[in-house]
Structure 1
Amino acid sequence: MGTEDPAGLIDRYLQLCEDRELTEAGRLLAPGALIVFPGGRVFGSLTEMAAAATGRYRWVRKHRDRYLVGTEGDRICVTSLGTLYGEGNDGEPFDRIRYADVFLLQDGLITEQHVYNDLAVERPATADPDS
């Protein structure tokens, strides 16, 4: 697993999360991985993260436009930049909502995921600031 291209690993992880293949996506996380969403919400698992999204929108996906890859000591940092699109609980579609996801990898596994997006700013009536 440690030889996979870091951006490719993150792209695969994000796709698995979008497809709700959480068991498979979880295999890419290191034990005790830190998952932090807007508002400082920390999740202990992908299942917990997915459950917290219930009631915030019907569905959401990402246009993953680019990846930035660097190092921090013995860890690799991958930032995924793009936009969100989906459907709010009110049935209204949304698109072009900026996001940045920052990942730290060590030994080929994700140790940290930090999620930032403008969903609450762009759709304040239907989005929770912690989404």
Structure 2
Amino acid sequence: MDQQIDPVIAAKNIVESYLERSMVPDPEGAAVYVSDDFKLVFTGGRQFSVPAESAAFNAKRYAWVKKKFLRTDAALDEETGDVHVYNTGYLFGEWKDGSTFETNRYMDKFVVRNGKIISTDVWNDSAEIILHKAGLAEADL
């Protein structure tokens, strides 16, 4: 029997493996899962082209940070063959000032093509939390 690999399940596994490597952090290990023309856009429009760049950015913001996955959902684009994967949950870790956090919401969107992540968009509450800590938030969290 010819077994076909479900592209949606494969893409979800690729994304979760990438995120696991990213959290170590192991940017070289994470890079195995991305294409040569990978594009990553963080909250605020910061753009990176390799996992090591986003790891360096995170090292400036956090003493350490991890993700608690709540859901990974995916959908196949029948026209292109791309799989759009959405991973959401909470960031937890420690800020540079030593204070901890655990309910920092995040949502990451990935596009997987031919077994590699070609793009990622990242959104989270970090900027709002930093503004709140600095007394600059426009509303209570």
TM-score range relative to shorter protein = 0.7 to 0.9
1:71-86 maps to which residues of 2 (within 5 A)?
71-72=76-77, 73-86=80-93
Q: Distance in 1 between matches of 2:61 and 2:29?
A: 24
Cα shift at 1:122: 2.5
Q: Distance in 2 between matches of 1:90 and 1:20?
A: 20
Q: Which runs of 4+ in 1 moved over 6 A?
A: none
> Which residue among 17, 23, 28 is the counterpart of 1:18?
23
**What does residue 122 of structure 1 align with?**
129
Moved more, 29-38 or 43-52: 43-52
**What does residue 129 of structure 1 align with?**
none
**What does residue 138 of structure 2 align with?**
none
Report the TM-score when normalising by structure 1: 0.88
Q: Which amino acid aligns with 2:60?
A: G
SS at match of 1:90: coil
Q: Distance in 2 between matches of 1:88 and 1:21?
A: 19
> Which residue among 61, 74, 79 is the counterpart of 1:56?
61
1:86-125 maps to which residues of 2 (within 5 A)?
86-124=93-131, 125=133
Cα shift at 1:5: 2.0
Q: Which structure has greater helix proportion?
A: 2
Unpaired runs of 5+ in structure 2? 135-141
**What does residue 52 of structure 2 align with?**
47
Q: Distance in 2 between matches of 1:107 and 1:52?
A: 28
Q: How many residues align?
A: 124
Report the TM-score when normalising by structure 2: 0.82
Identity of aligned residues (%): 29
Which entry has the higher C-alpha Rg, 1 or 2? 2
Q: Which structure has greater strand proportion?
A: 1
Q: Which amino acid aligns with 2:27?
A: L
The superposition leaves residues 42-61 of structure 1 with CA deviations (integer Å, 9 ceiling, x where unpaired) of 00211111112232110111
Q: Which amino acid aligns with 1:23?
A: E
**What does residue 37 of structure 2 align with?**
32
Unpaired runs of 5+ in structure 1? 127-131
Kindly report the root-mean-square deviation, in angstroms, between the aligned alpha carbons of the 2 structures.
1.4
Q: Distance in 1 between matches of 2:25 and 2:94?
A: 16
Cα shift at 1:71: 2.1
